[in-house]
Amino acid sequence: MNIKRIAIVGGGTAGWLAANHLGAALSANKDVSITLIESPDVPTIGVGEGTVPAIRDSLKKFGIRETDFIRECDATFKHGIKFINWLDKYKHGENNYYYHPFDYPFPFGDDLAPYWLHSKAETHYADVVSAQARLCEAGLAPKKISTPEYQGEATYAYHLNATKFAKLLSKHAASKFSVQHLFANVTNIKCSDDGYITALVTKELGELEFDFYIDATGFASYILGEKLNIPFIDKSDQLFIDSALVVQVPTEENTDIPPYTLSTAHQAGWIWDIALPERRGVGFVYSSKHLGENEARQKFSKYLKEPGNGLSFKKIPMKVGHRSVFWHKNCVAIGLSQGFVEPLEATAILQADYAAKMLSEQFPRVKKDIDSLAQRYNRALTYSWERVCDFIKMHYCISNRSDSDFWTDNRRPETMSEHLGQQLEHWRRFSPKAQDFFSKFEVFDVENFLYVLYGMNFPTTKPALSAGYQERAKAQIKQLHQHSQHLMNELPRHRSLIEKIQKYGLQNI
Amino acid sequence: MASIKPINKITHKHTKVRDNKSLAHAKDQHIVPLVVQEFSSAAQDYPIAFVKESETGRFKAVALLGLKSSENLFYVEGKWRGLYIPQHLRTYPFYLATQSGSSDKAALCIDEDSELISEVEGQPLFDEQGEQTDFVNSLCDTLVDIKHKSKQTDAFIATLLDKSLLSRKTLELRTPGGESYDISGLYSIDEEKLNNLPNEDFLELRNKGMLAPIFAALLSMARINYMVNFKFNR
């Protein structure tokens, strides 16, 4: 049986990313049709504005111009994440911070972590290996108006308006890949004896038959989770965050737009703060076991410098974990329907994009292809989800904050995976290297771990340094410093570049 | 420092402008803007390229006068070596300043600090009756003409971009001495892409009158060799 008719259920970011990835991969085949069905009643999650550099490759692949994307989605640039107060303020100061930027931390090929371990008291690790943290502190954009689309002087991603992003993706999918767009509420599914879905039952359009189904229904995981009963693997024993209070705060004209995501830790979680040109998206995430809702609202108000008790904040409960499989017979879940972790490292759009891309690159042509493809897919993505959980967990368990149970509980060995525990033990004695990462599906690799471990002052034993290495390291640090200076002089202020892009656009060459 | 002021018959009653045959004001310019209508003429002397304006990132067409920043190989010992003079060079020290609030009303201005300005010798701005002289009117016409032609040049460039006909050129030159020399930041018309255009796109270029300037730009690239030869052999 040929797989020709593909349905995507759900019109949020994940659904439309899937539509474009599948469209780009399959549109050469005139037999294949893609239909996205979204509910006219169920809202999208309404938050989710941080991305990682891989999104640029996807947008480029789809054929969307960076100029159009920035203009239509209120996008701003993101160099990385600034983590504030993740370390004990008595030891490291009030508002202590470190950066996790996107630039690869081996600017001249050498690993400078061993060198930094000898001098760490003086400089932030990120400043030794990249110019990006300095660019962030100076409020500079990662490129100029004359830099071609999707290229930059520093590695970057975006902050964006999720609703507008879905709209742009949907417009593009329709015009470029002939994706059909229907509005209907799915009330049930019909399956054949072998457990394959044969049709969607909808309230407004009756039964709709397809050959393959993408579940992009968000937290509900309506098809994979609810109807096909694929179990959810709960990770709340490792990751305690289970609630979010969210709000949008208008910004004044002509104020600076931080070119990075802020993540400010508090006694039971942390606060995200993402700036778009006209407003900030801010979210207070916390563990309800460690902080009550009223107190959370008060603390959030305090952060926002708003009077009152924060009654206007929207509360979103968050179940942390992921499905035991993501591809079951002729159904694949993409996005929040696959799983969720707190957005500490902007993983929601990252995982949706990654999963959609992976599916589109080896999409079954006939029913017989499904078993082996699904097996590979599930294995790769399960591994990636586990590693994502580990990376997020690491931010907590290497902190030395002890001002609340939330922080001390997070360091209890039984709350981290065995894999993470072993990695951390190893890294006490040896700094992270590429060989510590076993798979292509790590999501976060040596460069990310280096930034977070050493941003948080992790105590790795100082290795002996050869004279040759020290000379090279000194020369490279000096060269990087000069390069930083050059960039500091060349690059425009963030808001100024966004305004110019609105006015003049970017060239694609 | 430039001091650009609108001309008026009172302050500038006795102001005169000396002859500018040598174009000394451009001696440190390595590029000069071109309008598309002059491509065929300019191509006889200068390589025609496209560069991005640093303020806006938008493309403009230019004649290359030198092989590096601030180098002008056409201004030598007080004389201009090129046979054709690009329009943008002919109007110094006059400028057209658009008045705020009105995009089609512009004021003719002059750079009072220019070395060409004199009270004693040169072409006067105003005659005995306080009327603008033919000299001034003719320059004003040229400036207005450049403004219109610049819009048409922008449209020409927009079509080139739309058809993906421009590409970045890293000119690697071998000097007569055998050294390697690198010019970057230049874009030129991509002959291969032009040749591979679908028929209807190529017809569109013809209908828009773009073929001659496109070929002029392509042929003009050979002028770089002359510039290299001149630079390293004099």
> Across the A/B interface, how many CB contacts are shorter than 8 Å?
30
In the predicted model, what is the mean pLDDT of residues A335-349? 97
User: Which residues partner with A467 through β-bridges?
Assistant: none
Q: Is the CB of residue B58 less than 8 Å away from at least one CB of chain A?
A: yes
Mean pLDDT to the nearest integer, B204-210: 97
Helices then strands (H, E): number in chain B?
Answer: 6, 13
Please tell me the predicted confidence (pLDDT) of residue A311: 67
Q: Which two tokens stand for residue A215?
A: 């579940």
Residues ≥6 apart with Cβ < 8 Å to A208? A7, A35, A37, A182, A184, A199, A200, A202
Q: Enumerate the residues of chain A whose CB falls inside 8 A of the CB of residue B170.
A: none
What string of DSSP letters covers A128-147? HH-SHHHHHHTTB-SS-TTS
* pLDDT at res. B103: 62
Q: What is the side-by-side order of every strand in the sheet holding B180-189?
A: B31-33, B59-64, B48-52, B180-189, B166-174
| Cis, peptide link before residue B93, omega less than 30° from 0 | yes
- Judged by a CB distance cut-off of 8 A, whether residue B166 touches chain A is yes
In this structure, the number of other CB atoms found within 10 A of the CB of residue B30 comes to 17
CB within 8 Å: B52 and A146: yes
Query: Is the pLDDT at A503 greater than 90, yes or no?
Result: yes
Convert A29-49 to b/e letters by CB count within 10 Å (16 or more is b): eeebbbbbbbbeeeebbebbb
Computed from CA positions of residues A316, A319, A320, A321, in that sequence, does the dihedral angle turn out positive or negative? Answer: negative
pTM of the model: 0.94
pLDDT at A308: 64
Two tokens, residue A247: 């709000």
User: Which residues on chain B are in Cβ contact (under 8 Å) with A497?
Assistant: none
> What pLDDT is recorded for position B100?
67
Give the DSSP per-residue string, B155-168: HHHHHHHHTT-EEE
Q: How far apart are CA B161 and CA B164, in angstroms?
A: 5
Mean pLDDT of A469-481: 96
pLDDT of residue B183: 75
- Write out pLDDT tens, residues A98-129: 999 999 999 999 999 999 999 867 799 999 99
Band of the pLDDT at A254, cuts 50, 70, 90?
confident
Residues 6 or more apart whose CB falls under 8 angstroms from that of A335 comprise: A10, A12, A13, A14, A15, A17, A18, A216, A218, A348, A351, A352, A355
Q: Is the pLDDT of residue A154 over 90?
A: yes
Give A429's contacts (C-beta < 8 A, 6+ positions apart).
A460, A461
pLDDT at residue A468 tops 70: yes
Mutate one of B50, B51, B52 to test the A interface: name it (highest A CB count within 10 A). Answer: B52
Mean of the pLDDT values across residues B180-193?
Answer: 87
Return the pLDDT at A82: 98
| A500 with B59: Cβ contact below 8 A | no
Task: Count the neighbouring beta carbons within 10 Å of the beta carbon of residue A249.
Answer: 13
CA A282, CA A280: separation in Å to the nearest integer?
Answer: 6
Q: Which residue has the tokens 């999650």?
A: A45
Residues of chain A with Cβ-Cβ distance to B167 below 8 Å are 509
Q: Is the pLDDT of residue A17 over 80?
A: yes
Chain A residues whose CB is inside 8 A of the B59 CB are: 507
Computed over its alpha carbons, how large is the radius of gyration of chain B? 20
Residues B200, B212: Cα–Cα separation, whole Å: 18
Does residue A309 carry a pLDDT above 70?
no
- Rounded to two decimals, the ipTM of the complex is 0.88
Smallest Cβ–Cβ distance between A504 and the set B58, B166, B167 belongs to B58
Beta strands A212-215 and A331-333 are parallel
Chain A contact set for B161 (CB, 8 A): 507-509
Tell me, yes or no, if B50 comes closer than 8 A to chain A by beta carbon.
Answer: no
Residue A258 is predicted with a pLDDT of 97
So what's the pLDDT on residue A315?
A: 94
Which of A121-130, A332-341, B192-201 has the weakest average pLDDT? A121-130
Residues B56-102 pLDDT 10s: 999 999 999 999 889 999 999 999 999 999 999 999 999 998 776 66
pLDDT tens, A385-430? Answer: 999 999 999 999 999 999 999 999 999 999 999 999 999 999 999 9
Query: pLDDT per residue over A26-41, tens digit each?
Result: 988 999 999 999 999 9
Give me A141's structure tokens: 């954009």
Q: How far apart are CA B173 and CA B142, in angstroms?
A: 36
Question: Which of B56, B168, B187 is facing A504, going by the closest CB pair?
Answer: B56
Query: Residue A145 and residue B59: Cβ atoms within 8 Å?
Result: no
pLDDT in tens, A68-90: 999 999 999 999 999 999 999 99
Give tens-digit pLDDT for B128-160: 999 999 999 999 999 999 999 999 999 999 999
Compute the mean pLDDT over every residue in chain A, rounded to the nearest whole number: 96
Q: Which residues of A384-406 are buried (b: 16+ CB within 10 A; e: fewer)?
A: bbbbbbbbbbbbbbbbebeeeeb
Write down the pLDDT at residue B98.
79
The model's pLDDT over A364-382, given as tens digits with 9 standing for 90+, comes to: 999 999 999 999 999 999 9
Quick one: tokens of A117? 């371990």
Predicted confidence band of residue B184 (pLDDT cuts 50, 70, 90) = confident
Residue in B36, B149, B143, B34 with CA at minimum distance from that of residue B98: B143
Residue B167 has pLDDT above 90, yes or no: yes
pLDDT tops 90 at residue B181: no
Euclidean distance between CA atoms A327 and B204, whole angstroms:
50
User: What pLDDT score does B104 carry?
Assistant: 65
- Return d(Cα A134, Cα A136) in angstroms, integer: 5
pLDDT confidence of B1, banded at 50, 70, 90?
confident
% of chain A with per-residue pLDDT over 90: 94
